[in-house]
Structure 1
Amino acid sequence: MTTNTSLHKLFEPVQVGAWKLQSRVAMAPMTRCFADDETGVVNPQAVEYYRKRAQDGIGLIISEGTVISPRAKGNPGVPGLYTEEQVESWKPVTEAVHQEGGTIIAQIWHVGRLSHHELSGGQQPQSASAIQAKGYVPRFRKPFDQPEAMSKEEIHEVVNQYAQAARNAIKAGFDGVEIHGAHGYLVDQFNSDVSNQRTDEYGGDLAQRLTFMKEVLRAVIDAVGVDRTIIRFSAFKGDNLDYIWEDPEAAIRTFVEAFREVGVKMIHPSTMNFTQVLADGKTLHQLVRKYWDGLIIGVGSLDPETAEQALAEGTIDLAAIGRPLIANPDYLHRVKAGTPLETYEAEKHLLTLK
């Protein structure tokens, strides 16, 4: 078997924030529904699922989306980080990853309006404004419910829930957290004029709409430290495929200014297609790099060659791989050896642990 020697950046150990990583490859956060639907307790089988990716040499494992409260839930079977039982259930997972020399962080998540009252503890979903999303709840096959506009008291409560979930993540053995601020979920609902028509300090132009995101970031950074906190953001909205920033470069500048204001050091710009040109002949990550000199995680159907080139050029610092890591627990070993990768197939891999 011929070893692939042209992809050295992918396999390079690196210091990122508080973490010494085995490689520059990250495991992208992917909803797997590996928890008890009633309790949000992680299925014990998830231990081996995450262990194998650490064993493969994945540098940074980002967990599946993990909700911060009962009302934050928007999919059946997703795990939580708001009860002691949930915290305890994650400990064998984080211990297994650490035994293999890996690093794992929890993606903390509130879906906002992308839910249904039968999932969110019998209460109506929460959002920036009372604007119903189009579409259906994944794996639930019911339309998104009409959300309630959050009061300022509820906003402060949810900000505190993010901070508590971050503290619980550290208690569970996670090495840090990623705040899910992308793809049309709650943080993104405040960020977007599609879902935020507020007239108070949480509404207005884009810079003003980022107020909620900044409050969440400050609270989480205060809870676990800036060197253990990542923020994920996007132009892509999971419930609105036609949405696009009117001026992508101006929007990115505004986001970067907000990140600098709160002292963030690590960001995860998210897109479905890493090579898609967004504006001025540049991709999302190239535009972000134009204004941001901190850590950038790249994601978006990356293949090894594209990831290697982006790492070598300095566009990104870590390359996040999604579905190929579901289909190939030994992804890095295969890439290094030049062994063909198994193709991801939804029916085959969606609900199987490998």
Structure 2
Amino acid sequence: MSKLFTSYDLSGVMLSNRVVMAPMTRTRTPSNTANELTALYYAQRASAGLLITEGLPISEEGRGYLYTPGLYTDEHTHAWKEVTDAVHAKGGKIFAQLWHVGRMSHVSIQPGNQSPVSSGEVPATNTTVYAWTEDGKEGPVLPSVPRALRTDEVQRVTQDFVSSARRAIEAGFDGVELMAANAFVFDQFLSSSLNTRDDQYGGSIANRQRFMLETIDALAEAIGGERVGVRISPFGRLYDLQAFDGEEETWASVASALNERTLAYVHLNYQPTITAAEVPAGFGAAFRKAYRGTLIGAGGFTRELAEAELEKGDLDLFAFGTSYISNPDLVERMKNGWPLAEPDRSTFYGVIGAKGYTDYPVFDAGNESLKTVA
């Protein structure tokens, strides 16, 4: 049997295989609260070794998109308990991805219509967020100009992450993943172009990574480092994130700093895509040498590519994204060589209801047809 489908001990959480369902924003909850369809969606995909939820805003301030389910109120906590119960009933494991978008938001969805916050005041101009348009309809809009977080506010945001993590454990999650990737708030602090601060959170590499590391340490103290994962996207170019001076040195420093901590894993999204720069040659191997804990790789993996990487030994687990949208039984399909269904991209975001969400069938090898998953 392929090593991809063998069990893996994730800091005491036993995974049935090395396949991970990647976090994917779906904007499917009109009340910003997980619901019955959310529970069904994740339970359908519970044969993955590990499920990682879509990004869950840790506060109203941390929200950048309409219809994303949060994790900062009692109602949210109760709703996510229904989800984790459904996943665990199917034998699955699930981590909550905790999310603050920073500058990637709009005043129309910020508390009191205030400016979104960031490391500085540089706006994202070559991208959009999903918020309220001028005519009062939902749709893509240019992110608002951010304001720089005050020094004491940086520490307050860290505490918002801690509060959300405690709620995640109360809701039955097996752990949490800190969203420190894809041009959101921690990336904004790491970038020497966006971070224009002159306090202890700006300037040097050590200062620019301080916010992320302090938050990781606070999460570890609150719920245990073995239940904390971190997602990063070195050299990412999503959402108007540009190259910056000292970029390669910054990520080398991050790798070393993460290695000094006891974590469940580091989730590394570093493969070149349409929205990413070319990664320097040998970066993956260098990161593996610097960080000796569990590494999840993400970015365009197929079964064949994952198996080849397993043989190299640089990665331990493999995250699959869009293929999980249309293949709730992705593990079974890959394991048995069954064909994969193509997703309907028009239903990726914003559609309310089951269409393109929980109505994808599983493969029925018995009659070479498909059947609806329950």
Q: Structure 2 CA distance, aligned partners of 1:293 and 1:276? A: 25
1:116: Cα distance to partner?
0.3
Partner of 1:157: 156
Partner of 2:240: 240
Q: Deviations over 1:139-162 (max 9, x none)?
A: 731111011110112111111000
Alpha carbons 2:259, 2:290 under 8 Å: kept:
no
Q: Structure 2 CA distance, aligned partners of 1:246 and 1:217? A: 23
Partner of 1:127: 118
1:178: Cα distance to partner?
0.2
Counterpart check, 1:52 vs 2:51: no
1:277: Cα distance to partner?
6.0
Q: Structure 2 CA distance, aligned partners of 1:43 and 1:165? A: 18
Alpha carbons 1:179, 1:230 under 8 Å: kept:
yes
Counterpart check, 1:112 vs 2:102: yes
CA 1:272/1:138 → structure 2, altered by over 3 Å: closer, same or farther? Answer: farther
> Equivalent residues in 2 for 1:1-354 (5 A)?
8-37=2-31, 40-54=32-46, 57-121=47-111, 122-134=113-125, 135-138=127-130, 140-234=139-233, 235-240=235-240, 242-243=242-243, 246=246, 248=248, 250-264=249-263, 266-273=265-272, 278-279=279-280, 281-282=281-282, 284-350=283-349, 351=351, 352-354=356-358
Q: Structure 2 CA distance, aligned partners of 1:201 and 1:343? A: 48
Q: Deviations over 1:209-250 (max 9, x none)?
A: 0010011111111111110001111120322265367553x3
Alpha carbons 2:227, 2:263 under 8 Å: kept:
no
CA 1:265/1:103 → structure 2, altered by over 3 Å: closer, same or farther? Answer: closer
Q: Structure 1 CA distance, aligned partners of 2:243 and 2:95? A: 29
Q: Which amino acid aligns with 1:76?
A: L
The range that moved more, 314-323 or 198-207, is 198-207
CA 1:242/1:203 → structure 2, altered by over 3 Å: closer, same or farther? Answer: closer
Alpha carbons 1:71, 1:123 under 8 Å: kept:
no
Q: Structure 1 CA distance, aligned partners of 2:227 and 2:76? A: 21
Q: Structure 1 CA distance, aligned partners of 2:13 and 2:115? A: 39
Q: Which amino acid aligns with 1:84?
A: D
Alpha carbons 2:3, 2:310 under 8 Å: kept:
yes
Alpha carbons 1:112, 1:125 under 8 Å: kept:
yes
> Alignment partner of 2:207: what SS?
helix
Q: Deviations over 1:155-177 (max 9, x none)?
A: 11111000010000001111100
1:48: Cα distance to partner?
1.1
Q: Structure 2 CA distance, aligned partners of 1:273 and 1:253? A: 18
Q: Structure 1 CA distance, aligned partners of 2:347 and 2:104? A: 26
Where do 5+ consecutive residues of structure 1 fail to align? Answer: none
TM-score by length of 1: 0.91
TM-score by length of 2: 0.86
Q: Structure 1 CA distance, aligned partners of 2:292 and 2:302? A: 24
1:131: Cα distance to partner?
1.4
1:326: Cα distance to partner?
0.5
1:136: Cα distance to partner?
1.5
Q: Structure 1 CA distance, aligned partners of 2:210 and 2:227? A: 21
Q: Structure 1 CA distance, aligned partners of 2:318 and 2:104? A: 28
Q: Structure 2 CA distance, aligned partners of 1:127 and 1:343? A: 37
Aligned length: 341
Alpha carbons 2:4, 2:18 under 8 Å: kept:
yes
Alpha carbons 1:159, 1:216 under 8 Å: kept:
yes
Q: Structure 1 CA distance, aligned partners of 2:5 and 2:261? A: 32
Q: What CA RMSD, in Å, does the superposition of the two structures yield over aligned residues?
A: 1.9
1:324: Cα distance to partner?
0.2
Q: Structure 2 CA distance, aligned partners of 1:241 and 1:112? A: 12
> Alignment partner of 1:45: what SS?
helix
The range that moved more, 236-245 or 194-203, is 236-245
Alpha carbons 2:26, 2:348 under 8 Å: kept:
no
Where do 5+ consecutive residues of structure 2 fail to align? Answer: 132-138, 359-374
